[in-house]
Structure 1
Amino acid sequence: MGGRVAVVHDRGLEDYGFGEDHPFNPLRIRLALELSEAAGLFEGYGFVKGAPATEEDLLQVHSLTYVRLVQKADEVSDLSELVHYGLNTPDNPVFPRMHEASARVVGAVLTAARMVADGSCEHAMCIAGGLHHALRSRASGFCVYNDAAVAIARLKQEHPHLRVAYLDTDAHHGDGVQWAFYDDPEVLTISMHETGRFLFPGTGGVEERGRGEGYGYAVNVPLEPFTDDESWISCFEAVVPEALRAFEPDIIISQNGCDGHALDPLTHLSASMALYEHIPRRVHELAHELCGGRWVALGGGGYDHWRVVPRAWTALWAALSHQELPEKVPAGWIARHEKESPVELPVLMHDPAPESTPRAKEIAYANNRNAERVLEEVVSLIHGRKRGE
């Protein structure tokens, strides 16, 4: 049953975290996996354990100076020197054995990507991955190493002329992956996110389109604050299938941050579970339509640990593994966690129909204008390249 789909995970991946009081708490991964298991969605599927990324793997994307610094970060006596590299900050405090924990995440994502690329499985999921902000020589936004970028770089090295589409629907712009391949015409990066005018990292405008040979292969769809399901899905359907079809990828790697939910404490979007059920279903369909089903699904942001992340990533796994999402959250999962949860746990996998968002029409109009601009000014460049224009 599970031979065509793999979930890459082991408990060691949950060592990547910055402390219990930090928003990026691996508890959310544990809750998501336990919810999928309680719902019976892991029946017939075993977990695959990846090997830690090697230094050579990391150097495909990161500088040697930076990797060396991360390796010894918890031994440095003067932590102020780390700040230049994005470490020892509120977002990225140093924690024990940080390099080892970070390298395990990269290695797990690399394992998932290789399994799909070499045909060992059709789809693979690694929700510990999706650390999309890490830059060549700098940690950023809870991300020390950029697992998706390393995996893409390695796949391209091991499979010459492989065309990789990276799709990022985290509320935050997928900047680190975009910049890593900004001049590469064989990597398409698509990011849908809250506009950088109001949210970290402040990038991801429509005008960021790639550079040199990669011009036209960076696609950004910034969304207005308080964007709801209807507008987000409308923009997704307008841009993402068109861009992917124009690019004709050999594999899709998706980053599935779920911090655009209305309950998320760090962003200003108004999505519900309907969005996080729609996106993986559509990516699944597009993967089968365009690249023989080759799809690697990663985690990402999501900071309502109890009510949103477990349900969103359970919906992701259900789509990935060709299973129906149950209507109700299993009573056993609720009983196990309700005493430790600071909020009332949801009893349904789906959200009730959300109330209308104030200024919804105005927000949708602005988003549609951006989507139209992306189609006319960016996606058209991919079509033009195919025609040799």
Structure 2
Amino acid sequence: MVSNAIFIHHSDSSGYKFHDDHPFDPIRQVLTIDLLKEAQALTDEQIIQPDYLIDENMLRLVHRHDYVQAVKLLDTEDDPRSKAVLAEQFGLQTEDTPFFPGLHKAASAIVTGSVEAAEAVMSGRTLHAFHLAGGLHHAFPDRASGFCVYNDASIAITHIRNKYNARVLYIDTDVHHGDGVQWSFYDDSEVCTYSIHETGKYLFPGTGYAYEKGVDQGFGTCFNVPLEPFTEDESWLESFNVTIRKVIEAFKPDVILSQHGCDAHAYDPLSHIHCSMRIYQEIPAILHELAHTYTEGRWIALGGGGYDIWRVVPRAWSQVWLEMTDHPLAEAIRAHEVEALPAAWLERWSSASPVPLPNNWQDDSSAIPPIPRRDIITEQNRNTQSIVIQDL
């Protein structure tokens, strides 16, 4: 029997923690899982926990052998100077992505979960799969970047291509450009990469312009929608709907693999986009519709960025699972029939949170002030939309 959706969580992924003051904190996973359980939308029996780690051959689908060996050696090298040279050579001694004990195991666990999700969908075991620890889209074949060590999304896509010869549409809604995945498939006509993000003029990684369209056989299968700082819900959703529907109709994929970074929220400390929880209710609903329209339901979803880990990430990631499972709570939240977050979840985590937790699934509109330049920003984003789809 084919299941509708599976939820994947590798316990070792919780070890992917740089240090206590780092914005990337795996407690995001715990908070999300607990919220879904308290909402009676997820049970322990529904969680698939892989009891293995993928081997180096899988990592080397994307990453260079010397890079993988360097990540492993950082755990065993005793000489501090040798360790520092090794880390600096491969991007693992930066403020963003410093190495830590157990790095290889934790990063491998994240790749394992994403490959497991891809395999579950492509083998026909399930229509949809969600791996919230995945989505580390900035890692490159030979170096770490932007909190990302192994690029689980690129590895999962390459696995799909090699084993199933399927056309893959990668959709990245993280506020930061999905650069590592884009460059992995920049010359590949069978993988289409789509990223909607804050323009690289002002935000890391400084790429993702509309003119980045692919090269050689891959020309025309790369799409970027760089949005202006302080873009709000209406313009964000318009830009997404106008462009992604054109892209998927033109590319006609066999499967969707989506990355659900939730750092375009106005509360996020690492970006300048000014959206609310509304876009995180709409994104999975749109992708669910597109999957059933274009890919016979095949949809793999990964987590990604999101650095307001208490107020935003648990609510946003929960929406992906609620939508995937056709849970009645998803529609009830959109219709404002259900407002309050589970009382037990709020009681459990309020004392640990450094900021007051929201009481509701939706945002209080008065807590996110409107942007005075809304009309100008909207018009600039519409100009970008036209450029993105002009050849489709």
Give 1:46 deviation, angstroms: 1.5
AA paired with 2:383? R
The aligned residue for residue 214 of structure 2 is 210
Equivalent position SS for 2:300: strand
AA paired with 2:138? H
The aligned residue for residue 57 of structure 1 is 58
Alignment of 1:226-265 (within 5 A): 226-265=230-269
Matched, 1:343 2:359: no
Matched, 1:143 2:144: no
2:339 to 308, 327, 336: 327
Give 1:43 deviation, angstroms: 4.2
Give 1:320 deviation, angstroms: 1.1
Q: Distance in 1 between matches of 2:247 and 2:200?
A: 22
Q: Distance in 2 between matches of 1:11 and 1:344?
A: 28
2:387 to 332, 350, 373: 373
Contact 1:2 / 1:45 at 8 angstroms: preserved in 2?
A: no
User: Which sits farther off after the overlay, 314-323 or 257-266?
Assistant: 314-323
User: Which sits farther off after the overlay, 291-300 or 315-324?
Assistant: 315-324
Contact 2:70 / 2:86 at 8 angstroms: preserved in 1?
A: no
User: Which sits farther off after the overlay, 50-59 or 220-229?
Assistant: 50-59
Matched, 1:361 2:375: yes
Matched, 1:317 2:321: yes
The aligned residue for residue 180 of structure 1 is 184
1:27-52 C-alpha deviation (Å, 9 max, x unpaired): 11111111111111114852112332
Q: Distance in 2 between matches of 1:110 and 1:258?
A: 22
The aligned residue for residue 152 of structure 1 is 157
Q: Normalising by the residue count of structure 2, what TM-score does the alignment of the two structures yield?
A: 0.94
Contact 1:256 / 1:297 at 8 angstroms: preserved in 2?
A: yes
Unpaired runs of 5+ in structure 2? 331-337
Between the aligned residues of both structures, percent identity stands at 45
1:342-373 C-alpha deviation (Å, 9 max, x unpaired): 11110100112344212011111111100111
The aligned residue for residue 73 of structure 2 is 72
Contact 2:2 / 2:126 at 8 angstroms: preserved in 1?
A: no
Alignment of 1:166-177 (within 5 A): 166-177=170-181
1:93 to 80, 91, 98: 98
Equivalent position SS for 2:126: coil
Unpaired runs of 5+ in structure 1? 381-389
Matched, 1:19 2:19: yes
Give 1:17 deviation, angstroms: 1.5
The aligned residue for residue 282 of structure 1 is 286
User: Which sits farther off after the overlay, 13-22 or 347-356?
Assistant: 347-356
Q: Distance in 1 between matches of 2:386 and 2:313?
A: 31
Equivalent position SS for 2:129: strand
Residues paired across the two proteins, number: 377
Moved over 6 A (4+): none
Equivalent position SS for 1:306: coil
